Every structure is written in structure tokens, then in C-alpha cells.
Amino acid sequence: MQQQPGNQQQGAMQQPPQVLTTKDSLYLNDMLSWNLLAMKKAHFAASHCQDQELKAELDKCGQMHQRHYEQILSHLNQGSSGQAPTTM
């Protein structure tokens, strides 16, 4: 009898582990860097833009990336205010 690919769910986690691995930490650092860079590029482009409509859209884009950056930081700070995740 062959095992079906969909039957491998018996070991599925119900909640994420309370451990922050090195790989997780590096990925979070990358996400922060990507959002910070996108925010800076949008701000730079908006400051050099002549078209007011395009400038407004670039500002909105930069603000979106800033919100994402701040949301990631707030999630990380929430995790450290209770039980600090350990790194493997």
C-alpha cells in the first residue's frame, strides 16, 4: 500500500515554537532591511518628482513600507516583553 502525500499531517504543529532560530532571525533582519530600503527609495524618488500626483503615490508607497517596518518591530518587541525567544 502506497502512502498518500496528503496523509503526512499527523505531526503538524498546532502553535509555532517559542524558539527563534538563527535562520528566523536572519530572515527578520532581511525583512526590516528591505522595508527600510524601499521606504528610503520611495522618499528619494518623491523628493525628486515634478508630477504632484506621482509624488503623492510615491509618498504613500514610502509610508506603507514604513508601517510594515514598524509593525515588524512591534511584533518583535511584543515577543521580547514577555518571554524572550531563544536563538538556536
Confidence band of 88 (pLDDT split at 50, 70, 90) = very low
More confident residue, 68 or 3: 68
Answer whether residue 67 shows pLDDT above 70: yes
Q: Residue 78: its pLDDT value, please?
A: 81
Which residues are registered as beta bridge partners of 19?
86
Q: What is the mean pLDDT of residues 37-41?
A: 97
In the chain, the largest separation of any two C-alpha atoms, in whole Å, equals 68
Q: What interhelical angle do 52-81 and 22-47 show, nearest 10?
A: 160
pTM tops 0.85, yes or no: no
- Mean residue pLDDT of the chain comes to 84
Q: Give the dihedral sign, CA 61/63/67/69.
A: positive
Burial grade of 32 (CB within 10 A; 0-12, 13-18, 19 or more): middle
